[in-house]
Amino acid sequence: MVLKTQKGDIFEKEFMETLRQVTEEVFYLKGVERSSVTSLFTPNVRYNEVVEDGSAAATSFPPTSPARRSN
């Protein structure tokens, strides 16, 4: 499944909220292997970056992130 924006980019608040909602809905669909669901809002998606002291990595949106909370 792919979620694509029709205008602007994926960094718009509305798109991120839609992506979070779709991710949650797909995650709980009967028959879905939850460990294979991949989204910016799942803990199996991480980012890596080069920093002054070497490298750093973390999940895209940690569970405590305001982006992960529903309204």
pLDDT tens-digit map of 3-30? 999 888 988 999 999 999 999 999 999 9
Residue 8, domain member (yes or no): no
Determine the structural domain holding residue 43 and report its residue range: 13-64
* Domains held by the chain: number: 1
> Is position 50 within any domain?
yes
Q: At 54, is the secondary structure helix, strand, or coil?
A: strand
Whether 4 maps to a domain, the answer reads no
Spatial neighbors of 55 by CB under 8 A, at least 6 apart, are 48, 49
Q: pLDDT tens digits, residue range 18-70?
A: 999 999 999 999 999 998 999 988 888 888 999 999 998 888 877 665 555 55
Look at residue 20 in the predicted model and tell me its pLDDT.
92
